[in-house]
Amino acid sequence: MKTRPNELLIETKDIKPSLIRTYAYNLNQNDWTKGKFPQRMVDTYEFEFIMASEGYMNLEGIRYPLKPGDLCLRKPYEMTMGEPPYACYMISISLRDEDLLKKTHPLYHNDIIDSLPAVLSVKNPKYYELIFQKILDQYIRNEPSSVLLISSLILEIIYAAYQEAKQFYLPSSAYSRVITKAIGFMESKSTEKLSLDLISHHVGMSPSHFQKIFKETMNVSPNDYLINHRLTKAKELLLITDDSMTDIAYRTGFDSNAYFSYVFKQKMKVSPSIYRKMHQKP
């Protein structure tokens, strides 16, 4: 019988991921037969991104049907078994450098990592696909700078998944329906000019009360949530199109290219143009 150690607390600022291994499995779908892999205990943190599937992931006694665009997370000491057919990218990572040589990594407690579900159906599969492709490409290249880019890409996966999980898995709240309605409205109208008055009116609340309950539930203000959503869309367009910065700014709801560049650099620590160069496929 497996034993599970006490969870260790890790602060978000101390998460410095390193790639242990990565691979692409069955992307050409040559092997599309049903079956089961041997059951195993997970010894690192693993992210798997599903490209095509008619299969399942068994994790801790739960059988998850897998579909294209699913992002799977497995943690140390969990028991898992895959059931093909499916095609995927996989990365095995450590959250801290000192864990790299350990046979089984510690199971950490962290608010962001803990909020990620075992299977998350992402909104923008192409965005995640390009990130996993870039990680694999840099792993193969193994250049002196590859480790830096790979680490930043892993953090991007964690960050993007966390932003999506916050919406799909809202904290228990008496206002969950109101928050869900507000988020749906903001995301559907994110390319338009939105004010706190307009959003709060849509859900039938005063601006001050709505802002208070939204921040208490989501841990961000409505404006910050809207900006994060716009930036996620902008990052996707930077990766999958050759559109100009001005076009991307207006397509994602920013008033000007200058404001878009300012907000992007504030949040991402690099300009949109540098971000595009860093993440483009060679």
Question: pLDDT of 201-229, one tens digit each?
Answer: 999 999 999 999 888 877 789 999 999 88
Task: Say if residue 186 is in the same domain as residue 133.
Answer: no
Dihedral sign of CA atoms 84, 140, 76, 148 in order:
negative
167 part of a folded domain: no
168 part of a folded domain: no
% of the chain surpassing 90 pLDDT: 74
Q: Considering only the C-alpha atoms of the chain, give the largest distance between any 2 of them, rounded to a whole number of Å.
A: 59
Task: Say if residue 152 is in the same domain as residue 180.
Answer: no
pLDDT number for residue 240: 83
Task: Say if residue 240 is in the same domain as residue 108.
Answer: no
95 part of a folded domain: yes
DSSP annotation of 12 reads: G
What six digits make up the tokens of 185? 């409205």
What six digits make up the tokens of 9? 């607390």
Task: Say if residue 133 is in the same domain as residue 214.
Answer: no
- Mean pLDDT in residue range 230-250: 91
DSSP string, 181-196: HHHHHHHHTTTS---H
Domain boundary among 113, 136, 162: 162
pLDDT at 171 over 60: no
Question: Which of 121, 88, 101, 2 minimizes the C-alpha distance to 44?
Answer: 101
Q: Identify whether the C-beta of residue 208 lies closer than 8 Å to the C-beta of residue 220.
A: no
The CB-side HSE value for 263 (13 A sphere, CA atoms) comes to 22
113 part of a folded domain: yes
pLDDT number for residue 1: 38
- Pick from 94-98, 152-156, 166-170: least confident: 166-170
DSSP string, 79-106: EEEEESSEEEEEEEEESSGGGTT-SS--
pLDDT tier for residue 2 given thresholds of 50, 70 and 90: very low
Residue-number span of the structural domain to which 195 is assigned = 176-279
Domain boundary among 162, 196, 219: 162
Task: Say if residue 202 is in the same domain as residue 264.
Answer: yes
What is the count of structural domains for the chain?
A: 2
pLDDT tier for residue 152 given thresholds of 50, 70 and 90: very high
Between CA 7 and CA 16, with CA 11 as vertex, the angle to 5 degrees is 100
Task: Say if residue 181 is in the same domain as residue 135.
Answer: no
Task: Say if residue 260 is in the same domain as residue 144.
Answer: no
The pLDDT tens digits for 96-142 are 999 998 999 999 999 899 989 999 999 889 999 999 999 999 999 99
% of the chain surpassing 70 pLDDT: 94
- CB neighbour list of residue 55: distance below 8 Å, 6 or more residues apart: 34, 66, 82, 83, 84, 85, 86
- Pick from 1-15, 58-72, 125-139, 224-238: least confident: 1-15
- Beta strands 8-9 and 79-83, pairing class: unpaired
pLDDT number for residue 282: 54
Nearest-angstrom CA–CA distance, 281 and 224: 30
Task: Say if residue 147 is in the same domain as residue 57.
Answer: yes
Q: Does this model's pTM top 0.85? A: no
2 part of a folded domain: no
Nearest-angstrom CA–CA distance, 44 and 18: 11
